Amino acid sequence: MISMKKIVAPALAMIISLTFNISKPLASTYEEAQINTNSLNVRSENNLNSNIITKVNSGQRYLILEEQEGWYKIKLNSSQEGWVSSQYSTKKQAIGVVKGNNVNVRNSNTTISESIAILNTGNEVTILEKNEDWYKVKMSDEQIGYIYHSLIDIKRDNMSVTRGSSDKLTKLYEVANSKLGSRYVWAASGPDTFDCSGFTRYVYKAGAGIELPHSSRSQSGLGTAVSKDELILGDLVFFHTGGSSRINHVGMYIGKGNFIHASSAKANVMVSNLSEGYYQKTYVCGRRVIK
């Protein structure tokens, strides 16, 4: 005769095991959508009939939150999400940048596990997934390990910056990006409508506490000159548009040849590329206000 203890014990163990597996937090894969075309619509839902939130340009990368039926749900900034067609974007693995020296890479996601490598500020790793408070990463030598979440920043190709002033410059980007799609209104300087110099003035005040004059020509005299191939996130870029021979337009560089600006022609805040025909022809100079 089979003992009831022999039946109940394995069954109970199975229930406990199933319960543990169900309640255990699932790992989230970190992948980004790299945009492959200019002026790609970001929509409120994953269909062509939904509202257009803003537009994004080629080369920009955004964290993928969800994937459904040919669409990626992406994180535009800390407070805004939207959907882009996967037909015009490519899935890429996210890159993490280590912040802090002598950072341990461990063989499992616990502080008592063995350290398999030591990394320092600026070292880059490939983010494979996030599980609870740890990132699972792959290093340049192909080793795989875990780094505590607060010791990693997710790198954005459209937010390439030098170390040191990166926190302030990243804040500039977040403020500017949060205003994408806002309406262009001449002489306005926020918080919901802008002209070109009013937009850069608002971003610098809200993001860095720096007061800029409300004039693109006046702003072009600030800071230090920067060559076009040395531009970094936060640099101001200036143009002479509409047939003018003098500076009359300004935007803020965000990396990969892109800049964000309040466009009178498109009547909103948008991202454009310095290599596009019109802006390539009318580009005048770059100025660095934050060093």
Active site residues: 196, 249, 261
Helix (H, G, I), strand (E, B) or coil at 174: helix
Report the half-sphere exposure of 242 (CA within 13 A, side-chain side): 7
Q: What phi, psi does 162 have (nearest 5°)?
A: -85, 160
The values of phi and psi at residue 279, to 5°, are -75, -25
Q: How far apart are CA 118 and CA 142, in angstroms?
A: 14
155 vs 177: CA distance, rounded Å: 16
Q: Which residues contact 15 (CB under 8 A, 6 or more apart)?
A: none
> Quick one: tokens of 249?
């337009």
Q: Which residue has the tokens 């169900």?
A: 22
Tell me how far the alpha carbon of residue 284 is from its chain's centroid: 27
Q: Which helix (H) or strand (E) holds 91?
A: strand 89-93
Calculate the CA dihedral of residues 138, 62, 77, 81 and round it to 10 degrees: -120
- Beta strand pairing call for 193-194 and 183-184: parallel
Helices 196-208, 166-177: axis angle to 10 degrees equals: 130
